[in-house]
Every structure is written in C-alpha cells, then in structure tokens.
Structure 1
Amino acid sequence: MRLTALALSFGLIAAPVSIAHAATAELKGADGKALGTATLTDAPHGVLLRIEAKGLTPGWHGLHFHEKGDCGTPDFKSAGAHVHTTTAVVHGLLNPDGNDNGDLPNLFVAADGSATVELFSPLVSLNGAGGRPALLDADGSSIVVHASPDDYKTQPIGGAGARVACGVVK
C-alpha cells in the first residue's frame, strides 16, 4: 500500500503542467532585418505580451496590435488598422470616448537600441475568449512599432507616425 501511494505521488509530480496557449511574432524592420521577438500568452482575461528587441531607434515608440497578419514592406500598411471589435472605435488609452482594442502602452527603447518589456492587454485574446477580438483569427494580426510615441488621444493613431517594425502573430 505504501509503495503504491509513493508511486502515485511521484506520478503526480511528473504529470505535465498545463501551459497557456502562446503565439509569437518575429519583429522585422522595413529592410527585412530581424529586430526581435514578441511572445504572447493567452491569459483568462486578456493577453500577456513580452517583447525583446534590438536595433530600434532610442526613445519612446507607439505600439499597437494591427488587424491583419501581413507585414508587407516597406511601410507595413498591409497590416491594416488597429485591432478593434466589429465596429471601429476611436483611438487612445486616454480618450474619454474609449479606445480601440489594439491600443497598447508605448515601448521605450534604450540608448543602445534595445527594448525589453512585458505588459498585459485585457482588450484582446488569442482565440476570441471573453468576446474580445482574436489575434489568431482567419486573417491574423500583427504587432507594429511606430516611429514616435503615441499620445493616447490624437486620432487616428495618437501621432505615432510611420510604422518602423512589424511582426505577424503566429
């Protein structure tokens, strides 16, 4: 009996742990050069996003989820607009009229061109959980880094400027 209980307890310890569904996006510049990786982990009430990048311009940059999984160069316009529900809404985390689901906090890039950030978005999901837009829907989605910081209010993209890096969420 003791041996059976001991064997069962070791079996429980060795049992695989359920890992949340994850996706990645390889960030590339307009020249196609690899700049970093974004890892997305589905959470019960949103998505945890971790970005590790090098080779970006130092300073603050707008960061958004875009509605299409297409990072055609040179300008990444093929990524479409920000992710939103079925009806597009206004932009900006500080907009009193609300914001779109693709809005994220700005990304800070250090003087050496590197950035590491981990943040949480309750506005999206990987597969549509909780009625939030799915980043892994039929036409996919992308993560876009903009040239300038997002002011979180100005329409349509918070003054964030040109798209300087893009990664398709897979």
Structure 2
Amino acid sequence: MRLPLALAAALVATPAVAAEPVTAELKNGAGEAIGKVTLTAAPKGVLLRVEAKGLTPGWHGLHFHEKADCSKSDFTSAGGHTHGGGDRQHGLLNPKANETGDLPNLYVGADGTGATEAFSSLTTLDALKDADGSAVLIHAAPDDHTSQPIGGAGARVACAAVK
C-alpha cells in the first residue's frame, strides 16, 4: 500500500515524541512532599499535569523556572522563569510575546487540593530537561498574566525539580 505523498511527508516531518513522561515530586518550603507534577512531550510542546495538596485555597501562579533546584526553602535556587530568548516578556496576555515559563494559574479548592492539566506550546520537554534541568513552581498569589516580571504572583510556595 502506498501512502499519499502529503501524508508520507507529514509522517516524516513529525518530530518524535518521548514515550515516557517525566514525573517529579512537588515539595513545600519545609521540604515535605505535597504532590507531583508530570510532564509529557507532545509534538508541538509539553503537557503538564499538577496534583497538589496542603496549599491555601484560591488561584496560584504556575511557572516553569530555569533550574531543577528546589534546595532553598523559598525556592529562589530555581532561578527565574524559563525565558526562551529574544525580546520575550512575561505574561500569557502580553502582546510583546511570551516567556517559555508562562503557564495558566492553578486553582486550589477549600480543602487545600489543586489539580490541573495544561499544555504549553512555548517550550518542549527536551528544553526543560537541559543540562541544569528546570522546575515547576507554584506561587502564593495568582498571576495576572501581564505585570512584570512575574504577574504579581508573589512568593514561591511549592517546587518540583524536573531533570
């Protein structure tokens, strides 16, 4: 059986997707496990799943950060947001481009648990697993998706190292 030329070309041009997702433990500032994050490579980005407990109810900023280092209790060891180069600025609603670390907010219910699944076309799993890895951080307040540099999301309250 012969495939139509356009279909055959599309199959050859489609990048390979990693079969195995990457799972990382989510920790609070005391170093206690409070959940997990799972990242799965997709043909045009990365799929992120977050499952957390023990957080304050309400909306929380969620970002990819530069380093797989959650060693400091305030998580500043994870560096800033992944950027992606060029003139990118923070904010999913910012017309001046998006950083690769920009993600939608996470909602946490009255019982302190939150879960979400979000897709980012701004980065890839391979980019997040570079030489120094990256981190998924949850912030104390919601991200307004426009303010610089972190959308008013406040302190870092949970961290998962992605290697």
Give me the TM-score of the superposition, normalised by structure 1: 0.83
Q: Does 1:114 align with 2:113?
A: yes
CA contact (8 A) 1:75 1:163 kept: yes
2:140 alignment partner, one of 129, 147, 154: 147
Matched, 1:39 2:32: no
Q: Which residue of 2 aligns with 1:89?
A: 88
- Deviating 4+ runs (over 4 angstroms): none
Number of residue pairs the alignment of both structures matches: 147
C-alpha deviations, 1:105-135, integer Å up to 9, x for none? 00000000011111111111111xxxxxx00
Gaps (5+ residues) in structure 1?
A: 1-17, 128-133
Identity %: 63
Amino acid of the residue matched to residue 79 of structure 2? Answer: G
Which deviates more from structure 2 when the two are superposed, residues 141-150 or residues 70-79? 70-79
Give the C-alpha shift of residue 22 in structure 1. 1.4
Match of 1:73 in 2: 72
Cα-to-partner distance string for 1:33-87 (whole Å, 9 max, x where unaligned)? 1110001000100111111111111100000000111012211001011111234
Q: In the alignment, is residue 137 of structure 1 matched against residue 136 of structure 2?
A: no
Which structure is larger by alpha-carbon Rg, 1 or 2? 1
Which residue of structure 1 aligns with residue 150 of structure 2? Answer: 157
User: Offset at 1:19?
Assistant: 6.5
What residue is the counterpart of 2:5 in the other structure? none
RMSD: 1.4
Distance 1:88 1:80, change over 3 A: farther
Aligned residue type for 2:34 = L
